[in-house]
Amino acid sequence: MRALIVDRSVPAGLRIGEVPDPDPAPHQAVIRVTATSLNHGEVQYVREDAPQDAVLGWDAAGIVEQAAADGSGPPAGTPVVTLGWSGAWAEFRAVDTDLIGTAPAGAEPAALSTVPVAATTALRALHRLGPLLGRRVLITGATGGTGRYAVQLARLGGAHVVAATGDPAAHGAGLRELGAAEVVTGARDLDAPVHGAIDLVGGSRLVDAYQRLAEGGTVVAVGHSAGADETFPYGAFFGDQGRHDRSVTSFFLLGCRDLGPDLSWLARQVAIGTLRPSIAWQGDWHRVGEAAEALLSRRLHGKAVLEVGRPLV
C-alpha cells in the first residue's frame, strides 16, 4: 500500500511511498483510510525526532476493510473514525477496536477525520472539570482545532464559555458563533473567576488561568504550544480566601479509557451538524508539506485535513 513515510531528505519530512500492508493483531480491524487530520504535536515530531521510514499519524477516518479476528468492533463496510499512536497516514490502517468509533453512513470523511484527537480530547478534558451546567469555563487557545471543539462542547454541556485568543478582533465573531459567551485575550481579562479551564497554550496562559479559578476549580493542561516554562508566583498555591482545592492537572488522551463510545457520539454530532469540524485547510495528501507548513507556522485557525489515497478509488 502507499503511505506517508518519514523522510528527512525531503523538505516536508514526509513523502508518499510503498510499504507493506498492515498485519492486524486479533483485536484490530483494518481500515481503508479516506481522510486524516494533522495535529501539531505529530507534525512537530516528524520534523524533530521521528525515525526515518516510520508511518505515523493519529487520526484517520475511513471504512472497515476487514473486521477484527476476535469478533470485536464493527463489521466490514462500516464508516468509522479511528485513533492510534501511528499508522493513520496510509491507505490502510490496523487499529485496536476499542479506539474505533462508528459514523453515520454518508458522513463527510474530511469532517470525520478531525474527530479522534481534537474532539475527543476536548470532550474528555471537559469531563475532568466536573459539572458544566451553569458553570463558567475558560478555553485558552480557543481558535485551534481542539479549542474550537472545546468551545462548542462546553456550550453544549450548558457552560458559560469564555474563549481566549490572542486576537479577539479577528476571531471573536467566529468563536461567538461556536458558542462562546465572552471572548478575551487571556485569563487576566476575566471579570469573575471560572470553575474550570481547558488550557491549550501553556506557559503564562496556564498560570493566569490557574490564578482565576474559583474554589474547587481545575485547569486541565492539554496543549503546550507556547513552549515555555510555567512560573507560579509565590502565593499562587495558597488555599485561603476562597482558593481552597484549586488544581492543575496533566492530560493525555490515550491515558483515558473506553474512548469508543465517545468517538461514535462525536462522529455522529459532526455528521448531523451539532458540532462543526472547523477545517481551515483541506487538500490531497500529496500536499502534506504545504499543510504541515501552514500548521507549524500557526497560520491555521482550525484543523488541516488530508484526503488520503483518493486517486486510487
Give 10 or 25: the residue with its C-beta nearer to a second copy.
Answer: 25
What is the closest distance, in whole angstroms, from the C-beta atom of residue 281 to a second copy in the complex? Answer: 26
C-alpha of 165 from chain center: 17
What is the closest distance, in whole angstroms, from the C-beta atom of residue 289 to a second copy in the complex? Answer: 26
Q: How many CB atoms lie within 10 A of CB 219?
A: 28
Question: Is residue 251 a contact point for a second copy (CB under 8 A)?
Answer: yes
How far apart CA 204 and CA 210 sit, in angstroms, is 10
Look up residue 150 and give its three cell numbers: 472545546
Q: How many CB atoms lie within 10 A of CB 51?
A: 8
Q: Which of 11, 17, 26, 71 binds a second copy (CB under 8 A)?
A: 26
C-beta separation of 81 from 123 below 8 A: no
Question: Is residue 158 a contact point for a second copy (CB under 8 A)?
Answer: yes
What is the closest distance, in whole angstroms, from the C-beta atom of residue 9 to a second copy in the complex? Answer: 28
Span from 98-106, 179-187, 231-239, 278-286 in contact with a second copy (CB under 8 A): 231-239
What is the closest distance, in whole angstroms, from the C-beta atom of residue 18 to a second copy in the complex? Answer: 26
Burial class (CB in 10 A: 0-12, 13-18, 19+), 128: middle
Give 58 or 92: the residue with its C-beta nearer to a second copy.
Answer: 58
Question: Is residue 142 a contact point for a second copy (CB under 8 A)?
Answer: no
Question: Is residue 232 a contact point for a second copy (CB under 8 A)?
Answer: yes
HSE at residue 144, side-chain half, CA atoms within 13 A, is: 29
Convert residues 79-118 into a mask of x (bound to a second copy by CB under 8 A) and - (unbound): ----------------------------------------
What is the closest distance, in whole angstroms, from the C-beta atom of residue 238 to a second copy in the complex? Answer: 6
Say which residues have a Cβ less than 8 Å from residue 49's Cβ, sequence separation at least 6.
Answer: none
C-beta separation of 289 from 14 below 8 A: yes
Question: Is residue 231 a contact point for a second copy (CB under 8 A)?
Answer: yes
| Nearest partner of 22 among 77, 70, 84, judged by Cα | 84
Q: Count the site residues for a second copy by CB under 8 A.
A: 54
| Nearest partner of 207 among 119, 264, 129, 138, judged by Cα | 138
Look up residue 53 and give its three cell numbers: 521510514
Question: Is residue 272 a contact point for a second copy (CB under 8 A)?
Answer: no
Q: Which of 104, 131, 167, 170 binds a second copy (CB under 8 A)?
A: 131
Tell me which residues touch a second copy (CB under 8 A): 25-26, 123, 126-128, 130-134, 153, 156-158, 202-203, 206, 215, 218, 221, 224, 227-240, 243-252, 254-257, 262, 265-266, 269
